[in-house]
Structures are given as C-alpha cells and as structure tokens.
Structure 1
Amino acid sequence: MQYSSTATGVPAQPMNGTGQWSTGLCDCGSDYSSCCMTCWCPCISFGQIAEIVDKGNTSCGVHGALYSILCLFTGCECIYSFIYRSKLRHQYMLPESPCNDCLVHCCCECCALCQEYRELQHRGLDPSLGWHGNLAKQNQGVGMAPIGPGEMKR
C-alpha cells in the first residue's frame, strides 16, 4: 500500500487506487463504537469528520455546534453534512454512490456519517484525534537534525 507525502504537512494517508469506498453504506458491523456514537450523538461524529476533511481549518466543536443548531432549529442537518461527504469524495476520488450525496445524507444520515468515519480510519486517520492530533501522531519520532554553531547561516 502506498502513502501520500507528508511534505505539505498533511498526514500520510493510504492511497486507494481503486477509487471505491473501503466499506459499504450499511457496513456498521465492523465498528460498533463509532456507529453507536453516531447514532446517539451525530454532531460529534460529524464534527470530527468535518475537521479532518477541512484539514483543521475549523475545529470539531464549531462543526458539531453548527450541525446541532441546524438539527434543533430546522431538522435538516443533512444540508450541511452532505457538503462534507462531497468534499471527502473529491479528496479521495470516491464515486458518488449509492446515489448523490444530498440524498444519501437526507435518507441515511447516520449510515452516511458512519461510512465517512470508517473511510477516514481506513486511510490511516483517526477522526477522534482531530486534524492536529493526526499531524502529531504522524510526525511522532520525526525530529529536526541538530544545528551546530556556524551552520545554516545566511
């Protein structure tokens, strides 16, 4: 399995040359903990997924709060969450299946979030750590070479 470069500060991620989702929409049997969390508190799962997809530009808490507000006041949180499914698909060149992203989130919100969570895990990212936590985990043990006096001067 090949990994993407970390030269840009992006955690190394397994490259999936097939362009297919690593698990199906309803394959929750392999990951009960994230599926239970998503079922009872989808705002947490969504926030974690969105932070990773946004590469840390916005925190999990902000995404989760916006998701919760939409859920409480409109009942249409899928209008926010499907955007991140589309971003995830584009980042990893995944097909829009089983149907378009909006419809998947509108009809199967929890299953869609679980699938996205599993996809990130399959690609070597732990959504529960957040973007910066994954960067730290990826860079663990990698240090800068010591610079002695008189070296690297301009």
Structure 2
Amino acid sequence: MADEGNSNPSRYVKLTKDQAQPLEDIKPGELNQPIEVPQLGVHKCNECGQPLPESFEPPADEPWTTGIFGCAEDTESCWTGLFCPCVLFGRNVENLREDTPWTTPCVCHAIFVEGGIALAAATAAIYGIDPRTSFLFCEGLLFSWWMCGIYTGLVRQSLQKKYHLKNSPCDPCLVHCCMHWCALCQEHREMKGRLSDDVAMPMTIVNPPPIQEMAADGDNRTSAPSSTNGTEHTTLEMQAL
C-alpha cells in the first residue's frame, strides 16, 4: 500500500520564499468603498420610493379651480371661515389627512389665533392701551400670527403637493400670513370639489335567478316549474344602488 501511495505524487508544488508573491499593503477601510451599480441608478417616486420608467415625466402643476378671492362661491364655507376659522381649518386638515381628527387642528388654531386676539382685546378693554406695554402685545400677536401662518402654510403646501397645484398667488406660508381667511375658504372649496369628483358612480346589482330543483315522482318522471304557457322562464331583478 505504501508503494501505491508513492506512485501518485502530489500535484501541489510548494513555493519557496523567493517565489511567493509579496503581500499588498491594504489600508484600513479601503475595501469598504461604495460600488456603483447602473441598474440601481433609476428614477424613484418621491412619495413611495418605487422605481419609475425612464420615460416617466411628473405631472405638470394645475391651476386652482377657484381664485383666492372667490369666497362668495361657497356661502357655507365663507360664513364658517369668517366667524369660526378654526372649525374650517380643522375640517380642511381632516379631509386632507384621514388619520387626523378635525378637533386637534381646530384647538391649535383657536389657541394661537382666536385666543391671542381675544387676550389682546380683553387686556386693552380692562387696563386700557398703555404705550409702554402696547409694543409687547403687538410683538406677541405678530409672533403667534407668524407661527400660525407657518403651520397653516404647511397644510396648504401638502394640499398643493397632493393635487399638483400651483403656488397661487405666492408662497403658501405668505398667503396665510397675508390672506388667512381667504386661503382657508379657497382650500375648502378645492378639496370639496375634488372629493365630489371622486365619488363612485352608481352601481347596478343584478340578482341571480332562484335555484330550481328537479323532483322525481313514482314513474321516474321529472317536473320543473313552468309558466301558464308551458314555457320555463325566470325573473331577473335589477336594483340601483
């Protein structure tokens, strides 16, 4: 057995020290470099991150269906926005974000806007207008109005992004700072019109005919329901939803 093992020499050749290749000097972190994959360099949706085809073009921004001063076109939202803007703002946020109840943005709007104006009016009526403190009150009102303009402007920006609307007439935050009540009414009319367009069309329900049974008598004959004329028929009921 030993002779047979020696008759098959090993195919591996042992390298000497001179024949061995020198070790490469690898720096720390050199192997952890990013690799560019052409297949991954595709356009992706900003909302969901799904890859888009190369021929995809984002939809162009559309104009608003109503103008910023078209408050009279919807009398209900006009009166609500005039006397209870916090309620109208809460409804707009609820229509835009289904997971947010209208009470939360309504309370925030009431605290920053209606609450600040009511506090300033009550202080001026009770203690009078003091030149030394009037500047402090004005500064507080402007700060609360500025914060409310930013918050409501972000909601308007989300609405524009959802329906691909243009900045009309200017930046969303600036629109709410300068024309807050008109902007609330315009946003409500826009969502009201678009939600009415998304209502499902009426459907027609067709009921299947009743189940017919074949009964056998003693003579192994079958009988089926028939009409007065001797012809078999079924009734079809159609009901509009």
> Percent of counterpart pairs with the same letter?
34
Residues 1-16 of structure 1: pairs in structure 2 closer than 5 A: none
Change (3 A) 1:18 1:86: closer
Change (3 A) 1:36 1:57: same
Give the Cα separation in 2 of the matches to 1:109 and 1:30: 17
Give the Cα separation in 1 of the matches to 2:179 and 2:102: 22
What residue in structure 2 maps to residue 22 of structure 1?
A: 65
Q: Does 1:58 align with 2:90?
A: no
Cα RMSD of the aligned pairs, angstroms, is 2.8
Give TM-score, length-normalised by structure 1: 0.67
CA deviations over 1:79-118 (Å, ceiling 9, x no partner): 2211110000000000011110011000000000000000
Query: What is the letter of the counterpart of residue 64 of structure 2?
Result: W
Selected match of 1:80 from 151, 154, 164: 151
Selected match of 1:70 from 112, 118, 130: 112
CA deviations over 1:117-136 (Å, ceiling 9, x no partner): 000111025xxxxxxxx9xx
Higher relative contact order (CA 8 A, sep 6+): 1
1:66 Cα offset (Å): 1.1
Give the Cα separation in 2 of the matches to 1:102 and 1:123: 23
Give the Cα separation in 1 of the matches to 2:72 and 2:81: 14
**8 A contact 1:24–1:115 mirrored in 2:** yes
* Greater Cα radius of gyration, structure 1 or 2: 2
**8 A contact 1:67–1:80 mirrored in 2:** no
Change (3 A) 1:69 1:22: same
1:33 Cα offset (Å): 1.5
Selected match of 1:89 from 156, 160, 179: 160
Selected match of 1:39 from 82, 96, 115: 82
Of Structure 1 and Structure 2, the greater helix share is in 1
Give the Cα separation in 1 of the matches to 2:105 and 2:200: 23
Of Structure 1 and Structure 2, the greater strand share is in 2
Secondary structure of the 2:195 match is: coil
Query: What is the letter of the counterpart of residue 59 of structure 1?
Result: P
Q: Does 1:124 align with 2:195?
A: yes
Give TM-score, length-normalised by structure 2: 0.44
Structure 1 stretches of 4+ with a deviation exceeding 4 A read: 137-142
Change (3 A) 1:69 1:93: same
Query: What is the letter of the counterpart of residue 186 of structure 2?
Result: Q
Give the Cα separation in 2 of the matches to 1:138 and 1:62: 29
1:35 Cα offset (Å): 0.5
Secondary structure of the 1:66 match is: helix
Query: What is the letter of the counterpart of residue 58 of structure 1?
Result: T
Secondary structure of the 1:123 match is: helix
The unaligned stretches of length 5 or more in structure 2 are: 1-59, 117-140, 205-241
Give the Cα separation in 2 of the matches to 1:81 and 1:42: 12
Query: What is the letter of the counterpart of residue 25 of structure 1?
Result: I
Query: What is the letter of the counterpart of residue 98 of structure 1?
Result: P
